């Protein structure tokens, strides 16, 4: 991922420098397990443990000849080992994927921990914002059209619970990707004792794979990427709400606009939802990772390399992008500007059409058939749409023409937005308990 969207902590997880540090750590743990079991000389461990990781530049230089990144790494690291002869026992009984998959598992869990911390912050921001607006009346919209009264906090609560569920899915996926596989060329432990795998897993606070061939099958990594895609898409759902709310015709929500900020090179009046639009665009990048990574599940027999290039691109990019998306979305929510007066004005702008559902039921309860009640209310509503005459007036006229008596006092009571949201208390109790 380009630097523009890479935050330092997550960038460090996927850096070449950190990757080679992890490779050194995994190889050292394997060597220590061999030495403890008496399979290799004990005096080779300290020279290897003390050898500094090779630089990315040196590994790349050797790889130009070897065309094999692990051999290039082992050669470069051996050059840093004193005496170099101690490095002869590095990678003992292993195959490249033992190193690659185990180190990748560490990177995936490290990246997940960074993401979970940011996801917690987003859940908190949404929860607190929703509770702060539990009484902020707005119009609910379906198909983009005014439907019934609602409160802004209700919409935010829905997003908060979605963010929390998405975070919890990622936490579950972390457990499944955190596996160690050190089982040899085709996973049969032909040249390495299974106890080495157990010892390395314990040292890394991971668990041995249930089974492996030359690689760990990619179903769990696919699940992990899918969890990131869901998080990214929930972030987009938050952003989409803001994008709609900031439209000139709506003006209920807006992103914070800082002193000195500019919206357009040509139009000085512009205040655009650029953060929300960036979230929408980057969510597509994360979703794009799902299918290519999933296609790494079916490999030829015990392993081919078709998954490798895909993962080198999509795993870091998906993690880095999701990290940035969580950062952006949290900032969006924490600094969101809500215009409660505009929300109320928009709610009233259709002349009472938002109360048709309650009026329909009132007429049914007064003895009309549902079909007759619906026809009466719809005819009055269409007249309001077309003429702008308030709904109560068109309803009164249509009812009189049809010989239907209206209980005006009762209609006064039901044509109030507060009545539509009176039963949301338990929802906000659940929201307050969300962690």
118 contacts 330 by C-beta, under 8 angstroms = yes
pLDDT value of position 391: 97
pLDDT value of position 261: 87
282 contacts 325 by C-beta, under 8 angstroms = yes
3-state secondary structure of 143: coil
**CA atoms lying within 13 Å on the CB side of residue 141:** 13
370 contacts 347 by C-beta, under 8 angstroms = no
Who contacts 152 (Cβ-Cβ below 8 Å, separation ≥6)? 133, 136, 138, 252, 338, 340, 343
CA dist., res. 20 & res. 131, Å (int): 46
Quick one: fold of 1-92? Answer: Fumarase C; Chain B, domain 1 (1.10.275)
What backbone torsions phi and psi does residue 202 show, to the nearest 5 degrees?
-65, -40
pLDDT value of position 13: 98
pLDDT value of position 2: 82
| One CATH from 1.10.230.10, 3.30.70.260, 1.20.200.10, 3.10.180.10 for 95-345 | 1.20.200.10
pLDDT value of position 306: 87
276 tagged catalytic: no
CA dist., res. 252 & res. 141, Å (int): 13
pLDDT value of position 258: 85
83 contacts 71 by C-beta, under 8 angstroms = no
Residue 135 CA: distances (Å) to CA of 37, 66, 142, 343: 67, 67, 20, 12
For the beta carbon of residue 429, count every other beta carbon within 10 angstroms.
Answer: 9
Chain centroid, CA 421 distance in Å: 30
And the tokens for 333? 């929510």
pLDDT value of position 233: 98
Report the top-level CATH class of 351-422: mainly alpha
- For the chain, list residues with pLDDT below 70: 1
3-state secondary structure of 85: helix
264 tagged catalytic: yes
284 contacts 274 by C-beta, under 8 angstroms = no
CA dist., res. 19 & res. 53, Å (int): 10
5: left (phi over 0), alpha (psi -120 to 50) or beta: alpha
Catalytic pick among 50, 190, 264, 309: 264
As to burial, measured by CB atoms within 10 angstroms (0-12 exposed, 13-18 middle, 19+ buried), residue 327 is: middle
302 contacts 100 by C-beta, under 8 angstroms = no
pLDDT value of position 305: 86
pLDDT value of position 354: 97
CA dist., res. 170 & res. 274, Å (int): 27
pLDDT value of position 434: 98
CA dist., res. 364 & res. 267, Å (int): 54
pLDDT value of position 134: 98
Q: Could you give the residue range(s) of every CATH 1.10.40 domain in the chain? A: 351-422
């Amino acid at each position: 991922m380009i630097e523009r969207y890479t935050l330092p902590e997550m960038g460090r997880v996927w850096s070449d420098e950190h990757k080679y540090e992890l490779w050194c750590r995994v190889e050292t743990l394997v060597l220590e397990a061999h030495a403890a079991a008496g399979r290799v000389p004990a005096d080779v461990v300290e020279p290897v443990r003390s050898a500094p990781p090779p630089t990315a530049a040196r590994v790349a230089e050797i790889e130009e000849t070897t065309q094999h990144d692990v051999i290039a790494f082992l050669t470069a690291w051996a050059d840093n080992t004193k005496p170099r002869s101690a490095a002869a026992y590095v990678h003992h009984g292993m195959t490249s994927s033992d190193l690659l998959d185990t180190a990748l598992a560490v990177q995936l869990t490290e990246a997940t921990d960074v993401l979970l911390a940011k996801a917690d912050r987003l859940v908190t921001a949404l929860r607190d914002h929703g509770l702060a607006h539990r009484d902020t009346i707005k119009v609910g919209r379906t198909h983009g059209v005014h439907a019934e009264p609602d409160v802004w906090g209700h919409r935010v609560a829905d997003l908060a619970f979605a963010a929390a569920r998405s975070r919890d899915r990622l936490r579950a996926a972390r457990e499944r990707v955190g596996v160690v596989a050190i089982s040899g060329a085709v996973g049969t432990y032909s040249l390495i004792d299974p106890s080495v795998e157990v010892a390395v897993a314990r040292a890394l606070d991971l668990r041995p794979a249930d089974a492996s061939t030359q690689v760990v099958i990619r179903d769990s990594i696919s699940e992990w990427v899918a969890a990131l895609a869901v998080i990214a898409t929930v972030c987009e759902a938050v952003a989409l709400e803001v994008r709609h709310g900031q439209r000139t015709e709506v003006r209920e929500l807006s992103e914070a606009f800082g002193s000195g900020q500019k919206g357009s090179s040509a139009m000085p009046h512009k205040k655009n939802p650029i953060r929300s639009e960036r979230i929408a665009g980057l969510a597509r990048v994360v979703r794009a990772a799902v299918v290519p990574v999933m296609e790494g599940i079916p490999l030829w027999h015990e392993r081919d390399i078709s998954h490798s290039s895909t993962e080198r691109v999509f795993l870091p990019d998906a993690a880095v992008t999701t990290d940035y998306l969580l950062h952006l979305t949290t900032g969006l929510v924490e600094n969101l500007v809500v215009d409660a007066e505009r929300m109320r004005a928009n709610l009233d702008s259709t002349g009472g059409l938002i109360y048709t559902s309650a009026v329909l039921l009132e007429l049914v309860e007064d003895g009309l058939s549902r079909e007759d009640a619906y026809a009466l209310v719809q005819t009055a509503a269409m007249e309001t749409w077309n003429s702008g005459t308030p709904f109560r007036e068109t309803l009164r006229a249509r009812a009189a023409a049809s010989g239907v008596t209206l209980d005006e006092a009762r209609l006064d009571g039901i044509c109030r937005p507060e009545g539509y949201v009176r039963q949301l208390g338990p929802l906000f109790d659940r929201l307050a308990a969300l962690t």
